[in-house]
A and B are shown apart, each in its own frame.
Chain A
């Protein structure tokens, strides 16, 4: 170990480099100026200046989710740190690995209500996987390496390191990552073999099985997706996934049932309801997926693979809990399946698929195809066709457009789909798209957006322009907070309290004011034209304003608190008998 002294700020830069960081998203301020000065004096780390700290975190999330690496953020003390809070919680809810560095007032001023002082570790404690306040420069390198380790290990998540300004100035000793080992934190990666063997037996004897997979498979890396696909193909079982797990299994495969849950497909939800063996791999029985708990898949034996013991038996009691990494567990499962020469019950499976095909024939994603108005689903179908075979990444904002994107855009690979699932943060999509685009400069990155969500972080167009990130902001403009309007129709007598998008800007002119390309489609015929033009733009961002049917709602829908077999298919299904009191309290 070299005894060479560095300043705290230099230690930060060196630690980030040693951790493999190539891009850091941030915004300067008084309490991080020494780190900005150190950034200025080097060329390996690229700093991306956002326009709002929340966006720095979302951009780092987009970067992390699309690469599998840890995203990195730098913000100043006080307002810089508080602006980052929404992003940190977003990353916590969706298990995204991040390290956020925040400046803090000098140690001797902590607790004195100093200028731009905030109790950042206090505020972010419930919004991060872990956080640190570094008071001694000689602990800085170790803490930073630990932060990266904690962020990426086990169930990934955001970690914040709060660094007082005097610590950034002070001279200290650097230690390389290899010399840092965490004292306590050792998540279990390999699962108990006995449990896996038990699971394999149950799977082999299943008559009506279904795979229910989630974001944990994506977290486990592309190898886990490959193993999952292999196992699902080997068994011939149907598979569905949560919003967060899309892409782990190819959507183009016939065994794919589509997404499940509140806005999932009829066939996926009914397969979950009627299955006899449920194989949950890396999903967390979220309430948007289970609906009414007492009626959730009542007759099934449940296997649950999750790296976080606190996810197991939290909402749903399972029969075979398996604590471990999806990749490691799938590897063992496949190996034991082969070693024991297992094969599925073909006759039972044939009957089960017969049933599923019957549900599939209901064609639940069908919508009213009309020439008179652009249906949002149609716009997405056309986008899908235009992107076919092209290297692309999709992010979304939050609302109806997000659900339609999940339903209508197919993902055949992991890490291609980035959306705010757990927190549902409007304003996530644009900065996340910028993060993904900077990580994949030659790919097409589209933010499927709603007009209301877009306004939440639209200042980030400036960032996209500055760093020549040619993101495409595909606005399904229904002039409503459509998702809110839909719930008001369902639960509140169609009283559209504050859910109308008033005083919208001219999105084309807005784009032009930034030197971007602005496009608009108001007729069905124009949709293909604007998509073609949008894809031709490769040197700057592009905003596409698509005037879609303002009345369209997102179906199928299982109203909150209802069971999987109580699905609304379209506007003609009566909402009144579909909404019991207990459903109204759910979100």
Chain B
């Protein structure tokens, strides 16, 4: 088996019931798997289904284990490896607060424009930018803002979906 470390985005459809997130997270902590990012929210109100998007890394054997382990949790409906199953779209949303005046403030605003970030709060000495993009775009933006007075960043983690008409 391959021993190279791979990064995978996995989507999991679960019953939105108490403890379901603890089961998923407990699986990762208990078995020593990595979680690089995890997002969860209800996506189907009528059937109380939540969608969890996980980004994890490990050898091929570990990735397969992770999927098998997720699949055998009783409240899990479906597990999809978006990385394996053809092209997908991945996005993160970030709120980035930057404080400063003068040139730095102007530069921050200019960069925000290039990144298509929106200003969602402004004071005379600060901005909060809202940015949607891939993880690396968000990384880049936050990296640049560090030099321009970054106060804090809040990120959702990755949400993802396979391309094309097929449903998950």
Contacts and interface: CB of A to CB of B under 8 A. Distances in A.
* Closest 6 A/B residue pairs (Cβ): A310-B68, A130-B74, A309-B68, A184-B77, A310-B69, A185-B74
Contacts of A183: 15, 77
Contacts of B19: 121, 125, 133
Contacts of B76: 184
B116 interface: no
A133 B77 contact: no
A317 interface: yes
28 contacts: A121-B19, A122-B22, A125-B22, A126-B26, A126-B30, A130-B74, A133-B18, A133-B19, A154-B72, A155-B72, A183-B15, A184-B75, A184-B76, A184-B77, A308-B68, A309-B68, A309-B71, A309-B72, A310-B65, A310-B68, A313-B1, A313-B64, A313-B65, A314-B61, A314-B65, A314-B68, A317-B1, A317-B61
B71 A310 contact: yes
A310 B72 contact: yes
Contacts of B69: 310
A154 B77 CA distance: 16
Contacts of B65: 310, 313-314
Interface in B111-142: none
Interface string B62-95: 0011001101101111000000000000000000
A150 B71 contact: no
A128 B65 CA distance: 19
B72 A308 contact: yes
B1 A129 contact: no
B110 interface: no
Interface string A305-327: 00011101110010000000000
Contacts of A122: 22
Interface of A is mostly: loop
B75 A312 contact: no
B52 to A, nearest CB: 14
Interface of A: 121-122, 125-126, 129-130, 133, 150, 154-155, 182-185, 308-310, 312-314, 317
B29 to A, nearest CB: 9
A313 B75 contact: no
Given A308-B72, A310-B65, A310-B68, A184 B15 contact: yes
Contacts of B77: 183-184
Contacts of B163: none
A503 B19 CA distance: 46
A150 B74 contact: yes
Interface of B: 1, 15, 18-19, 22-23, 26, 30, 61, 64-65, 68-69, 71-72, 74-77
A125 B25 CA distance: 11
Nearest to B68: A310
A308 B65 CA distance: 11
Nearest to B78: A184
Contacts of A308: 68, 72
A154 B74 CA distance: 11
Nearest to A185: B74
Given A182-B74, A313-B61, A314-B68, 19 more contacts: A125-B22, A125-B23, A125-B26, A126-B30, A129-B74, A130-B74, A150-B74, A154-B72, A183-B15, A184-B74, A184-B75, A184-B76, A184-B77, A308-B68, A308-B72, A309-B68, A310-B68, A310-B71, A310-B72
A130 B15 CA distance: 14
Contacts of B1: 313, 317
A317 B74 CA distance: 26
Contacts of B15: 183-184
A122 B22 CA distance: 8
Nearest to B61: A313
Residue among B22, B64, B65, B72 facing the most chain A CB atoms (10 A cut-off): B72
B68 A312 contact: yes
Contacts of B71: 309-310
A246 B64 CA distance: 30
Contacts of A310: 65, 68-69, 71-72
B97 to A, nearest CB: 34
A129 B74 CA distance: 8
Contacts of A125: 19, 22-23, 26
A495 to B, nearest CB: 32
A133 B17 CA distance: 11
A182 B65 CA distance: 24
B66 to A, nearest CB: 9
Nearest to B47: A183
B165 to A, nearest CB: 25
A309 B69 CA distance: 8
Nearest to B48: A183
A184 B69 CA distance: 15
Nearest to A121: B19
Nearest to B17: A132
A585 B64 CA distance: 26
Contacts of A185: 74
A133 B22 CA distance: 14
Contacts of B18: 133
Contacts of B30: 126
Residue among A130, A184, A317 facing the most chain B CB atoms (10 A cut-off): A184
Contacts of A312: 68
A312 B75 CA distance: 21
B136 to A, nearest CB: 31
A121 B61 CA distance: 30
A126 B29 CA distance: 11
Nearest to A314: B65
Residue among A121, A125, A150 facing the most chain B CB atoms (10 A cut-off): A125
A312 B26 CA distance: 21
B54 to A, nearest CB: 16
Nearest to B65: A314
Contacts of A309: 68, 71-72
A317 B68 CA distance: 14
B69 to A, nearest CB: 5
A310 B68 CA distance: 5
